[in-house]
Every structure is written in structure tokens, then in C-alpha cells.
Amino acid sequence: MSDKYDVVVIGSGPAGYVAAIRAAQLGLQVACIEKWKNNEGVGVNGGTCLNVGCIPSKALLDSSYKYHEAAEGLAVHGISTKGVEMDIAAMLGRKDKIVKQLTGGIAGLFKANGVTALYGMGKLLAGKKVELTDNSGVVSVIEAENVILASGSLPIAIPVAPVDNDLILDSTGALELGEVPKRLGVIGAGVIGLELGSVWGRLGSKVVLLEALDDFLAIMDKAIAKESKKIFTKQGLDIRLGARVTGTQIKGREVEVTYKTTAGEELKESFDKLIVCVGRRPFTQGLLAPDSGVDIDDRGSVYVNEFCATNAPGVYAVGDLVRGPMLAHKGSEEGVMVAERIAGHKAQMNYDIVPNVIYTHPEVASVGQTEEQVKAAGEPYNVGTFPFAASGRALAANDTDGMVKIIAHADTDRILGCHIVGPSAADLTQQVAIAMEFGSSAEDLGMTVFGHPTLSEAVHEAALAVNGAAIHIANRKRR
Amino acid sequence: MAIEIKAPTYPESVQEGTLATWHKQPGDAVERDELIVDIETDKVVLEVVAPASGTLTEVLKAEGDIVLSNEILARIEEGEAAVSPAKVTAASEPDQQVGDALVNPAAKKLADERDIDLSQVSGTGKGGRITKEDVVNFTPLAVPLVAASAPASKAPETIEPVMQEGERVERRVPMTRMRARIAERLLDVTQTTASLTTFNEVDMSAMMSLRKQYQDEFTKMHNGTRLGFMGLFVKAAVEALKRFPLVNSSIDGSDIVYHGYQDIGVAVSTERGLVVPVLRSAENMSIATVENSISAYAGKARDGKLTIEEMTGGTFTITNGGVYGSLISTPILNAPQAAILGMHKIQERPMAVNGEVVIRPMMYLALSYDHRLIDGKEAVQFLVAIKQLIEDPAKILLEI
């Protein structure tokens, strides 16, 4: 039996399910195929983000943060606490409940929008046909006018630290630890490493992060990366840069990690658990028949043009599967763009204004260009910064680590980038992202009235500082 | 009765245009067939004239706005062209600026400080918003538009940067749509083709003496058309292309398309950029027809009147940098064609002929070709064929 749809989406993570829903909203007949099965073997939507990524990690981050605050952060307010305990099983249970609610929510949205939800493995054949092997093994072929590939990504595996889901874990395993490891090793001090390290560090682990690069958060604005490293180190995260892991050895119930420093030293350290989070790679296994017409580039991503169209006519690819930052919202907006283009609209995506967040506390967030990128492009620029230590609202909340940094073009004053480490960095950065979408200058933000006392005011002051007009800190003398 | 002024129906290859210049303001009297507005597309500037006489009442698009095929641009109230004595203040500003809704705050502030009329600033922000950047970069026209006669107002408008004396200034001017499109295409062809160039030199003496000998008779016979080199070069190219059909082909996906005709593009330089009008089925054209067509195209190109159809297609291109003094160069492929011939300056050089040194008028020829399609051997032999045909024009006639 061969069904025919206007759009068949392979993958129902944030890129796939959003594409499916948008396409259905625009009046198209849509089917969305998902191969993920939960612990009970039932097909669930939501992909990595909902099941083992963004959502569960944020749930654990919030739970662990509250524990940490309750155990150590309330004395300054005059509140004394003792005997604060963390029931890990309950924490994980809450996380699972949230995941279940959201993944069920997607199934509900599919129903509401008339998207046919299919469960099983989808494979693109030639001529816009998709072969579906459902969860009971039955194979069928679906015909489509358009196919959207959204099969996402998986953690990169490194041979020196093979994941055994016992002592050596990947990010998925790190979200399921039944007890707090005494010593936790993390290979990779990127976004995922810092978040997972924060969770277990707050709950009592002694966390060591081994980062192979010499620079911390190398793709972020250097000033913000530097400030962030100071803050995380103060929190007790032991971040070792220039540390390349060369081998691991299981010794009883410990993992002994061998690593080389840039200075050439070879060091060893033992951990109770080791998390490997060195990045993710696009997941294309079993996705494409050899004659599908879709090309893979040399990074393993599906090759697409600026509108996410592959080389095969009528076939698109979005999300972690294609070039660009591996961010859920980037995938979602690509999904919207593709759905709208299929429906005949001239949608496009602004890849220059995609916010990027690390959900530690304080959060680290950025949008637009870093100072290093602006400098490398040869553009003249001004910088305005404002520390949260000077923010009344932050002081009242006892949350004063971090700063806001805004970069604007020196001649046109156009905001080129915003980088924040501090409380609610994600939400504050979003404000600047919105302004940037409208071609805002730093002065425009400076002329906007901001409520007081808010954390947002730090954005206001940083924008004013760009042109030497900040009120609540001494302005840097202009060179 | 209100009449709508719409953008023309764009040809299939054009998706959208940019509103380049309004020649009339709301409140102005317009006459039937009078030029109202220019729309710039990737290839040409389209002129929109008034379908009837009357008064321009409403302007719906601003300069710099994207304009789609058949989109409504403005409205005319039909009737006697009445000249309104005093310009209504609203008429001096394009209709889309409703209060300050489409101007960013800092932009307005700066415009006020610099006494800049925001209605003259084109907005590059979302939805046409005027940003502070737009005001910073705004340069008022150095001289007022030549208002004299209608033909003059049809000339494409160029923005003259205003340079202050004694200052080290920079002027940032956004690329015109055409320039941006040219840049995009050239970058694309550089990245998507395996382009190489092979060179040869040709002794022009035979062709030059042919021209000298028969110029008067030719001009008389063909109603004033002069015999140039291009006519002969085009014929030589056509002949060589017949012998090397691969050079006359193009890539489409994973297919090679062999064209059974030779549409030769001849590159013409204009103020707005390089354009390549095409001689259709040049294999069927006489030399006189080729010469005529080329000068007609050149005239049209300079006047900005080349149509899109005249510039599309083409199976092979000839470009001549020699008129500007270029001795040798590597022409860039005109996608999706497989090759392009570059002609250069004719320069007298000492050459060895039959063991003696003689002075000959020489021209370097360059053939850039897409190595994905054409191998070195073919490219070289093709160019050698051109050389032989030029050096002995009788061969063109005799097809040998």
C-alpha cells in the first residue's frame, strides 16, 4: 500500500515536529515519522531535545540549583537551613514527568493539526519516496510531494573513552545517574559539559572538566568566556584547558583517565563516573538510500543551500542534520522556513541573529558577532559593558556575578553583537536579538525606557555605555 | 476615477524587483505615457509609465522597496492634469511614513540633528524601517535631478558622493541590485566550475588588410554598416564551435547539453556594469547583420534599454578587453556556458616568420573553459582553430 502526502517529515525533534505542524497549518497533508522509543518501547516524539537534551537537562539544572540555594545560598538572606537533602529518584522522576508531558503534547499538537504521526524508521528512497519500517517490522513505502529530513544528531564517540553506560557515559546517561558520583570527570568543557558538570557539582560531586582546546568556550566572545571561567571556577568546577584525553582504563568501580597537557605532561586522574561530551554529529545512518539524490558534505552533514533544499528536487533537510549551530531553535526556524517555502511563501531565515545559551547559573548567552569576529572583519566598533554588580535588582536578588557586553559599529552605531554572562542572560539577550532584527543601533536601545529595578536595565546601561553615556558606571575614556 | 499603477509582469526568470526611482510625487500632474517610476531587477531597469493623464494621488511603495510582478505601486486620479498650487506637506513624504512608525528612534533624532529629510532616506531595516545606519550613510544628491525634459529624466540616476574638501572621508553606498546580482553570479561561477584559461596569439595582419581593402565597398553595400573585427570574430567563433561542439555546450545537473545552434553573447561595458546581449543563431547571420546587431545592442545597453530576453541564453561569449588596453587576461565564464573567448589589444610585435624578424600586429587570445566539460586538448585545439581562421579569413568562408 502506498500513501501519498504533500509533505513527509523524517524525525520529530524540534526541527521536524515544528516543520510538520507549520506545514499542516498551511493546509498541506503531512506525515511525520519518528523512530525514538521510550523506556517502555513506545514511540515518542520530540527527538533529542525533549527526551534526552534541552528539556531534561534544564529540569535537572533547576532542581539542582534549588537544592544548592537551599543548602548554601539562603544564609545571606537571614534564612538558616539544615538537613537539606536531595532525593535523586524524585528529581529524576520530576524530569521524566516533564518529558512525558511535553512529548505527549507534541502528539496532541499533531492530532490537532491533522499531522499523521507514524512511528518507525524512515528512509529516503529515490523519487521522493520514503520507506517506513514500523516498530513491528512492517515495511511500507510512502509517496511524498516533498520530504523534509530532520533526523538530528548524536553524541560524538571517541575511541579513547568508549561509552559503556556504566562508568563511562554520554550526555543521555548523565541525565539518569541514580546517585551523586563523588568524583565526576567530564571530557569536553563546552555547553553540555558545563551544564551537566553544574548539575552534579551542585549536588555534591567534585567535578573535573578536561578540555582539549587551550581556550575556554573558544567560539564565544573572549571577554565573556574569561568572565565565565572565573565564575565557574569560583563555583568549584575544576576546568583544565589544553587537556587532551589519550586513554581511559576501568579499574574496578573507577575510571582512570590519562590525559596530555599542551606542555607535554602526561597526567592521570581517577573518577567514579566519566561523561563524554565532545560534540555531536549529524545522524544519517539508515536515512538515505544510495540513489536518493541527497549529498552529504565532508563533515557528514546533509548538503543544503540557504533555503535548506538538498540537491534532490523536493527534498529538504533541517536542524542538526545540516550546517550551522546545533541549536533546537535554529532547527525549528529552518523547519518553519521550509514548510512555508513548500507552501509557496518566500520565507527565509536570518542566520546572523540566532541566540545561543548555556544554562548554567549564571547563564551565558550571546547573539550576533563576537568582538573578535568584528575585529577580524576589519570593522570599526565600540563596546559597552555593564557589570551586574552595579545593578540594583541583581544586588537585591543576591545574584551579581557577570556582565552585559554590547558591540556596535563605530560609524553607524548598529548593534553587531550582545554577550551576557549573568542572571537571566538568555532572556536579556533575547531582548537585544529582537532589537537587532529591526536594525537597532545602540542609541536606540539607550533611548528605550526600561523598567526599574530590572535585570534588563543592565542591557540598557551597556547600550548607553557603547556611546559613553552610561549613568550607573563610570564611562571608559574614549580612545 | 482612480486608476492603479502596477509593476509590469516580470519575465519568468525574474522573481522580484526593487523600486529604484520615483519620478513623480503625490500631487504631481501626470500625462499619459509619462514616465512615473523605475523598477530595477537583476538584469534591467523597467520603466513604468502612466496609463492615463491625471494626478498622482497615492504612492504605495518607497524607493528601495521590493516590488513583485504586477504589484500595485500607486494610484492616479484620472482627469485633467491639474497642477496643485501648493504642495501638500504629506505629498512631499512617501506615503509609508505614517508618523514615526517606520523610523527607528535614534534615526529620527539624528535626522533632526542633521536636518535630513527622512522622506529622502531609504530604509534598510525590517519592513523598510529607516535605521540610524541609514541616516548615517545618507548622502543627499550632489545636484538636483535634471528636471529639464522628459528624455533627460529617463536617464538612470546615479548618486554622486558628496566629498568634503580636505577631509579623509569614506562613502558607504549599498550595492545596487544589479551589482549585487553580478557579484553573486561571478562568485558562484568561480566556485562551481573548474575554470582554466588557455592562451594563444593571432596575427591580425590578414584580417586587417581584408578590412582595409573592402571597407568602402562593404559600407556602401550594407547601408553604412562598417566592417569591424567583431563580425569576423563571431563568424570565426561560429565555425570553430561547429567543429568543437563541446565548447558550445553547457552543464545541466549531470547532463551535458549540446546546443544545435550558436547563440553568441557579445560583452558590452555600461555604466551599470557588464551586460552580455546575445546574437541568436549567429551561424545564420551574415557579417553585416552581426555588425549591425552589435552596434544596436551597444547603443541599447548604454541607454539601459536592453531587454531581459536579449540578455538571456547564449551558448558562447566573446569579450573584448582590448578596447580598454588589456594585453592579456583571464575572462570569467558566463554561466552556464562552457567557455568564453577573450580578445585583447592589437599590438605590433616583432615576430619570427620564415626565419626572419618582421613586425606584425598581434593579438593575444584567451579561452577560459570549464574543465569539467572540456579537456585541455579540446580547449587548445579550439583556440588554435580560431587562430587559424582569423589568420586566414578565407578559411571562414570556405569552412576549412
Mean pLDDT of all residues in B194-223: 92
Kindly provide the residue ranges of all beta strands, DSSP E only, lying in A340-388, ordered along the sequence: 356-358, 363-368, 381-387
Q: Fill in the DSSP letter of residue B174.
A: P
Query: What DSSP string describes A170-194?
Result: -HHHHT--SS--SEEEEE--SHHHH
Mention every residue, 6+ apart, whose C-beta is less than 8 A from residue A317: A148, A149, A150, A294, A302, A304, A308, A310
Does A437 sit within 8 Å of B126, measured CB to CB?
A: yes
Angle at A332 between CA A328 and CA A336, to 5 degrees: 170
The answer to whether the CB of A384 falls within 8 A of the CB of A441 is no
- What are the phi and psi torsion angles at A134 (to 5°)? -75, 175
Q: Fill in the DSSP letter of residue B316.
A: E
Contacts B134 to A, Cβ<8 Å: 439
Identify the CA nearest to A467 among candidates A417, A407, A421, A425.
Answer: A407
Identify the CA nearest to A187 among candidates A228, A229, A246, A266.
Answer: A246
Mean pLDDT of all residues in A118-122: 96
What is the pLDDT at residue B157? 43
Does B132 sit within 8 Å of A447, measured CB to CB?
A: no
Burial class (CB in 10 A: 0-12, 13-18, 19+), A296: middle
Please tell me the distance in Å from B363's CA to the nearest CA on chain A.
Answer: 42
Banded pLDDT at B91 (limits 50, 70, 90): very low
In angstroms, the CA B36 to CA B81 distance is 14
Does A440 sit within 8 Å of B131, measured CB to CB?
A: yes
What is the pLDDT at residue B213? 93
What is the pLDDT at residue B146? 37
Does B106 sit within 8 Å of A443, measured CB to CB?
A: yes
- How is residue A67 written as a grid cell? 537544592
Contacts A441 to B, Cβ<8 Å: 104, 106-107, 131-133
In angstroms, the CA B145 to CA B164 distance is 21
| Nearest-by-Cβ selection for A447 from B15, B106, B125 | B106
Span A443-472, pLDDT tens digits: 999 999 999 999 999 999 999 999 999 999
What is the pLDDT at residue B165? 54
What is the pLDDT at residue A291? 92
Identify the CA nearest to B104 among candidates B121, B89, B87.
Answer: B121
Does A409 sit within 8 Å of B133, measured CB to CB?
A: yes
- Determine how many CB atoms are found less than 10 A away from the CB of residue B387: 18
Assign residue A128 a region (left: φ > 0; alpha: ψ between -120 and 50; beta: otherwise): left
In angstroms, the CA B15 to CA B66 distance is 10
What is the pLDDT at residue B312? 84
Q: Which of B68, B132, B173 to mutate to test the interface with A (most CBs of A within 10 A)?
A: B132
Q: Is the dihedral of CA A431, A432, A438, A444 positive or negative?
A: positive
| Nearest-by-Cβ selection for B106 from A346, A409, A444 | A444
Does A443 sit within 8 Å of B132, measured CB to CB?
A: yes
What is the pLDDT at residue B167? 63
Does B107 sit within 8 Å of A447, measured CB to CB?
A: no
Q: In this predicted structure, which of A194-198, A317-321, A437-441 has the lowest mean pLDDT?
A: A437-441
Say which of A361, A452, A460, A472 is annotated catalytic.
A452
Q: Which of B130, B131, B167 to mutate to test the interface with A (most CBs of A within 10 A)?
A: B131
Contacts A446 to B, Cβ<8 Å: 106
Q: B27 or A228: whose pLDDT is higher?
A: A228
Q: Where are the alpha helices (DSSP H) in A322-449?
A: 328-342, 371-376, 392-397, 425-437, 442-447
Span B7-63, pLDDT tens digits: 887 766 677 888 888 888 888 888 887 888 888 877 667 778 888 888 888 888 888
Residue B4 β-bridge partners: B75
Closest residue in chain B to residue A415, using alpha carbons only: B133
SS3 A145: strand
Burial class (CB in 10 A: 0-12, 13-18, 19+), A120: buried
Looking up cell 482612480, which residue turns up? Answer: B2
User: Per this entry, what is the length of chain B?
Assistant: 400
The answer to whether the CB of A138 falls within 8 A of the CB of A148 is no
The answer to whether the CB of A401 falls within 8 A of the CB of A425 is no
Span B167-190, pLDDT tens digits: 677 778 888 777 788 888 889 989
In the predicted structure, residue B150 carries a pLDDT above the cut 60: no
Mean pLDDT of all residues in A285-314: 93
Identify the CA nearest to A372 among candidates A219, A152, A191, A263.
Answer: A219
- Determine how many CB atoms are found less than 10 A away from the CB of residue B377: 8
Give exposure, A442-463, as e/b (b: 16+ Cβ within 10 Å).
bbbbbbbebeeebbbbbbbbbb
Average pLDDT of the residues of chain A: 95
Q: By 3-state DSSP, what share of chain A in percent is helix, strand and coil, each rounded to 5?
A: 35, 25, 40
Does A413 sit within 8 Å of B136, measured CB to CB?
A: yes
Banded pLDDT at B269 (limits 50, 70, 90): confident
| Nearest-by-Cβ selection for A441 from B106, B126, B137 | B106
Give exposure, B2-30, as e/b (b: 16+ Cβ within 10 Å).
eeebbbeebeeeeebbbbbbbbbebbbbb
Does B125 sit within 8 Å of A438, measured CB to CB?
A: yes
Angle at A139 between CA A136 and CA A144, to 5 degrees: 125
Amino acid (one-letter) located at B393:
P
Strands B316-320 and B339-343: parallel
Query: What DSSP string describes B98-122?
Result: -TTTTB-HHHHHHHHHHT--GGGSP
What is the pLDDT at residue B24? 84
Contacts B137 to A, Cβ<8 Å: 412
The answer to whether the CB of A128 falls within 8 A of the CB of A314 is yes
What is the pLDDT at residue B61? 86
- How is residue A312 written as a grid cell? 534532490
Contacts B104 to A, Cβ<8 Å: 438-441, 444
Question: Complex ipTM, two decimals?
Answer: 0.70
Class of the domain covering A2-154+281-342: alpha beta
Identify the CA nearest to A416 among candidates A377, A370, A385.
Answer: A370
The answer to whether the CB of B265 falls within 8 A of the CB of B334 is yes
- Percentage of residues in chain B with pLDDT exceeding 90? 35
Task: State which CATH number among 3.40.50.1820, 3.40.50.300, 3.40.50.720, 3.50.50.60 fits the domain covering A168-278.
Answer: 3.50.50.60
Does B105 sit within 8 Å of A444, measured CB to CB?
A: yes
What is the pLDDT at residue B18? 86
Amino acid (one-letter) located at B20:
A
Q: Would you say the CATH fold of A168-278 matches that of A2-154+281-342?
A: yes
Mean pLDDT of all residues in A346-364: 94
Architecture of domain A356-466: 2-Layer Sandwich (3.30)
Looking up cell 513506545, which residue turns up? Answer: A42
Q: In this predicted structure, which of A205-209, A350-354, B8-12 has the lowest mean pLDDT?
A: B8-12
- Determine how many CB atoms are found less than 10 A away from the CB of residue A389: 13
In angstroms, the CA A433 to CA A416 distance is 10
Kindly provide the residue ranges of all beta strands, DSSP E only, lying in B328-389, ordered along the sequence: 339-343, 346-353, 356-370
Domains of chain B: 2-96 (2.40.50.100), 180-398 (3.30.559.10)
- Percentage of residues in chain A with pLDDT exceeding 70? 99
ω into A453 cis (within 30 of 0): yes
Closest residue in chain A to residue B129, using alpha carbons only: A438
Please give the interface size between A and B, counted as residue pairs whose CB atoms are below 8 Å apart. 53
Banded pLDDT at A477 (limits 50, 70, 90): low
What is the pLDDT at residue B252? 84
Q: In this predicted structure, which of A110-119, A421-430, A446-455, B250-259 has the lowest mean pLDDT?
A: B250-259
In the predicted structure, residue B101 carries a pLDDT above the cut 60: no
Span B316-362, pLDDT tens digits: 999 998 878 899 999 999 888 999 999 999 999 999 999 999 999 99
Active centre residues of B (catalytic): 371, 375
In the predicted structure, residue B81 carries a pLDDT above the cut 60: no
What is the pLDDT at residue A417? 98
SS3 B345: coil
Span A181-202, pLDDT tens digits: 999 999 999 999 999 999 999 9
Please tell me the distance in Å from B248's CA to the nearest CA on chain A.
Answer: 26
- How is residue A284 written as a grid cell? 544519517
Closest residue in chain A to residue B130, using alpha carbons only: A439
In the predicted structure, residue A140 carries a pLDDT above the cut 90: yes
Please tell me the distance in Å from B169's CA to the nearest CA on chain A.
Answer: 12
Does A448 sit within 8 Å of B136, measured CB to CB?
A: no
Strands A139-149 and A315-317: parallel
Identify the CA nearest to A209 among candidates A178, A176, A235.
Answer: A235
Closest residue in chain A to residue B127, using alpha carbons only: A438
Closest residue in chain B to residue A410, using alpha carbons only: B133
Domain ranges of chain A: 2-154+281-342, 168-278, 356-466
Residue A266 β-bridge partners: A260
Span A237-283, pLDDT tens digits: 999 999 999 999 999 999 999 999 999 999 999 999 999 999 999 99
In the predicted structure, residue B271 carries a pLDDT above the cut 90: no
In the predicted structure, residue A335 carries a pLDDT above the cut 70: yes
In angstroms, the CA A310 to CA A153 distance is 17
In angstroms, the CA A428 to CA A145 distance is 41
Please tell me the distance in Å from A295's CA to the nearest CA on chain B.
Answer: 13
Banded pLDDT at B295 (limits 50, 70, 90): confident
Q: Is the dihedral of CA B14, B16, B21, B24 positive or negative?
A: positive
Q: By 3-state DSSP, what share of chain B in percent is helix, strand and coil, each rounded to 5?
A: 30, 25, 40
Closest residue in chain A to residue B68, using alpha carbons only: A346
What is the pLDDT at residue B89? 36
- How is residue A212 written as a grid cell? 582539549
Q: Which residues of A touch B (CB under 8 A)?
A: 346, 409, 411-414, 437-441, 443-444, 446-448
Q: Which residues of B touch A (CB under 8 A)?
A: 15, 104-107, 109, 124-126, 129, 131-134, 136-137, 172
Closest residue in chain A to residue B105, using alpha carbons only: A444
